[in-house]
A and B are shown apart, each in its own frame.
Chain A
Amino acid sequence: MGKVAFVVGDDVSTDVIYPGRYMATVLPTETPQFAFANDPALNTKLNAKLVPPGSVLVGGKNFGCGSSREQAVSCLKGWELTIVASDISRIFLQNAINLGLNIITAPGVEAAEGDEVVVEGAKVVNRTTGKSWDVVPLPPARQAIIDAGGLIAFTRKRMLEARKKG
């Protein structure tokens, strides 16, 4: 984790993260260019490569609400962003875990662009302001998927195990 590149508000929907008109684009290698496509400030900054990998996007409540479109996750993962938000909508959180997007729930988290934000133990710490917030652990059921390196690898392993058992 590192510098905060973007601070977005509450209820940032997947329509905002990845507008519907780009949904015919499905390849994770092609989706990043359309991240926040309706927001010229954010989209231009990303495509101009002004946001180094590991930068942080700080969201408010209900981040990633709305559509289940997985492109909303793959486009952010493509830029290697870390998402820290007060709370995260269920499907977005699961898609993030499945695809290996770094995502952290920290209720109340506050930061400004340029702040240095890190995880220390079970807390998110804003080193610029000195404030910190508790991290809500991911659903325990999902940890096995993260440990396996994502849902594709996890499913592949399960499929091969099932075949061995016959």
Chain B
Amino acid sequence: MGKTVVEKVLARAAGLPAVSAGDVVEPRVDVAMSHENAALVINQFLEIYEGTGVTAHPWDVSKIAIIFDHRVPAESPKTASNQKKIREFVDAHRISRFHDIRGDVGGICHQILPEYGYVRPGQVVVGTDSHTTSHGALGAFSFGIGATEMASVWTLGVALNVEVPPTIKIVVNGEFGPHVGPKDLILHVVGKLTAQGANFRVLEFHGETIRKMSTSGRLAVCNMSVEAGATSGIVPADEETIRYLREEAGVTDPIEPVVPDADAVYESVVTIDVGALEPQIACPHTVDNVKPISEVAGVRVHQVVIGSCTNGRIDDLEAAANIIRGKKVAQGTRMLVFPASGRVFQEALDRGYVSDFMKAGAVVMNAGCGPCLGVHEGALGDNEVAVSTTNRNFKGRMGNPKSEVYLCSPAVAAASAVAGVLADPRKGN
């Protein structure tokens, strides 16, 4: 019987000849990623060892990655103290994959992991962040876990009692129209499947549109697979994956793509043609409340946010810069740009995008999660509306339960900043 990608990855990681959906396995973990919530992971990790007389030391520090991104630079003494505690742990245990608050190697965890070649096809990746689904873009099985579960991984090196998830095959064909792209595709998928439609399942992406898509686009697609409830999104590794890892991430060691068998067993198959797809908007207050731009254009916008682990990469900034260049952010609207990493920021500087944004009146902030989760900066006033390239629009997500968030592509966000209302980038300004 043929196998899906996740079945093949978990069989290898569990040291078994084959596994099928529903089997329970203990896969070895290849990458264990945390951000500021490593502060809680450390607490739980030490508690596991408490009273045992055994010295607490992680199973393999070369597989742990810690990246500060949620609150950078620290917004409060409490956060600063958490970050300090993590630094001390990192030093004590010599964790080398540590990305502190820096302009050169800092950034959002879901950008740093691919950028530095930490993730490879066929790996098992866990992260204490729900958007860890992102790394399936490189052909890994990558899923979010809680802090206590991460403490368990740090102790044992395996993810305990993982049920092999069934897979939904998503086949995407057709060519995107102008100003339509990966973000519109994944918003459409989430709307179609609903917010819990893929709960406990993997989405495996296929079709000519995916094959032609850059790794950056695939990261956006896999990133938001969790918004349909998916354990992981996966794009089977191909030539583009190898190109990205070699040319952009500087990987020199062997890369072994894991691809599904032709007769792999899928729970269901969903086919999508993007040829006629309009820019898609997730309307307040659920990510599956998705409508085409034509139904919601004209909504007054107070704040535009471009960035995040979903859409803060260089091609996202390029799409926005191409629209806003030589224009102005509308009066009464503010636009905030957050590159996904220091490297992306540097490239945006080199290519002149930062200048394009600033001349238009946008504020370009340091790399990090920014206002996405409402903890740090870019708060919204009562009854204000944000249009954002981020991934969640839950009530209060950006910090104020009396505000509204519409999710969209970088092109829609930039066009909306110029228009001061939710706008269709295909119509010009």
Binding site for B on A (CB under 8 A): 11, 13, 15-16, 19-21, 23-27, 38-39, 61-62, 65-71, 73, 87, 89-91, 94-95, 98-99, 139-142, 144-145, 150-152, 154-156, 158-160, 162-163
CB <8 Å contact, B70 and A159: no
Given A70-B147, A91-B146, A141-B162, A159 and B155 contact (CB-CB distance below 8 Å): yes
CB <8 Å contact, B200 and A68: no
Question: In the complex, A70 Cα to B37 Cα: how many Å?
Answer: 9
Question: In the complex, A15 Cα to B160 Cα: how many Å?
Answer: 27
The 4 closest A-B pairs by CB, nearest first: A141-B161, A95-B146, A62-B196, A13-B394
CB <8 Å contact, A162 and B156: yes
Residues of B within 8 A of A69 (CB): 37, 146
> B214 contacts the other chain (Cβ, under 8 Å)?
no
Question: In the assembled complex, how far is the CB of residue A39 from the closest CB belonging to chain B, in whole angstroms?
Answer: 8
Given A13-B392, A16-B395, A94 and B195 contact (CB-CB distance below 8 Å): no
- Residues of B200-240 at the interface with A, using a CB-CB cut-off of 8 Å, are 200, 229, 231
Residues of A within 8 A of B47 (CB): 152
A-B interface contact total, Cβ < 8 Å: 153
Question: In the assembled complex, how far is the CB of residue B149 from the closest CB belonging to chain A, in whole angstroms?
Answer: 6
> B39 contacts the other chain (Cβ, under 8 Å)?
yes
CB <8 Å contact, B392 and A15: yes
Specify the chain B residue showing the minimal Cβ separation from A159.
B155
| Cβ 8 A contact of B231, one of A24, A90, A154 | A90
Given A98-B148, A155-B151, A158-B156, A38 and B128 contact (CB-CB distance below 8 Å): no
Q: Would you give 20 A-B contacts (Cβ < 8 Å), ordered by A?
A: A15-B395, A20-B375, A20-B399, A23-B373, A23-B375, A24-B76, A24-B82, A39-B401, A66-B394, A68-B145, A71-B40, A140-B24, A151-B152, A152-B152, A156-B48, A156-B52, A158-B156, A158-B160, A159-B155, A159-B156
Given A68-B129, A159-B155, A91 and B160 contact (CB-CB distance below 8 Å): no
Residues of A within 8 A of B231 (CB): 90
Given A15-B373, A24-B76, A140-B24, A91 and B394 contact (CB-CB distance below 8 Å): no
Of A140, A142, A155, the most chain B CB neighbours within 10 A belong to: A155
CB <8 Å contact, A26 and B130: no
CB <8 Å contact, B149 and A151: yes
Given A159-B156, A160-B52, A68 and B196 contact (CB-CB distance below 8 Å): no
Given A15-B397, A23-B37, list of 19 further CB < 8 A pairs? A19-B399, A21-B374, A23-B373, A61-B196, A66-B392, A68-B128, A68-B132, A68-B144, A73-B146, A87-B196, A87-B199, A89-B199, A90-B200, A141-B162, A151-B151, A152-B44, A152-B151, A159-B52, A163-B54
Binding site for A on B (CB under 8 A): 24, 36-37, 39-40, 43-44, 47-49, 52, 54, 70-71, 76, 78-79, 82, 128-130, 132, 144-149, 151-152, 155-156, 160-163, 195-196, 199-200, 229, 231, 286, 373-375, 392, 394-397, 399, 401
CB <8 Å contact, B195 and A11: yes
Question: In the complex, A142 Cα to B162 Cα: how many Å?
Answer: 8
Question: In the complex, A98 Cα to B395 Cα: how many Å?
Answer: 27
Specify the chain A residue showing the minimal Cβ separation from B129.
A68
CB <8 Å contact, A26 and B146: no
Question: In the complex, A156 Cα to B151 Cα: how many Å?
Answer: 11
Residues of A within 8 A of B394 (CB): 11, 13, 15-16, 66
Residues of A within 8 A of B70 (CB): 23
Residues of A within 8 A of B395 (CB): 13, 15-16, 38
CB <8 Å contact, B82 and A160: no
CB <8 Å contact, A70 and B146: yes
| Cβ 8 A contact of B155, one of A98, A139, A155 | A155
Question: In the assembled complex, how far is the CB of residue A95 from the closest CB belonging to chain B, in whole angstroms?
Answer: 4
Residues of B within 8 A of A38 (CB): 395-396, 401
CB <8 Å contact, B76 and A70: no
Question: In the complex, A8 Cα to B429 Cα: how many Å?
Answer: 42
CB <8 Å contact, A90 and B374: no
CB <8 Å contact, B195 and A155: no
Given A15-B397, A20-B397, A38-B401, A159 and B392 contact (CB-CB distance below 8 Å): no
Question: In the complex, A107 Cα to B44 Cα: how many Å?
Answer: 33
Question: In the complex, A89 Cα to B201 Cα: how many Å?
Answer: 11
Question: In the assembled complex, how far is the CB of residue A90 from the closest CB belonging to chain B, in whole angstroms?
Answer: 5
Question: In the assembled complex, how far is the CB of residue A144 from the closest CB belonging to chain B, in whole angstroms?
Answer: 7
Question: In the complex, A96 Cα to B229 Cα: how many Å?
Answer: 17
CB <8 Å contact, A26 and B161: no
Of A21, A24, A66, the most chain B CB neighbours within 10 A belong to: A24
CB <8 Å contact, B54 and A89: no
CB <8 Å contact, A142 and B146: no
Residues of A within 8 A of B71 (CB): 24
CB <8 Å contact, B145 and A145: no
CB <8 Å contact, B40 and A141: no
CB <8 Å contact, A159 and B48: yes
Question: In the complex, A160 Cα to B54 Cα: how many Å?
Answer: 9
Given A13-B394, A65-B229, A139 and B163 contact (CB-CB distance below 8 Å): yes
Question: In the assembled complex, how far is the CB of residue A57 from the closest CB belonging to chain B, in whole angstroms?
Answer: 17
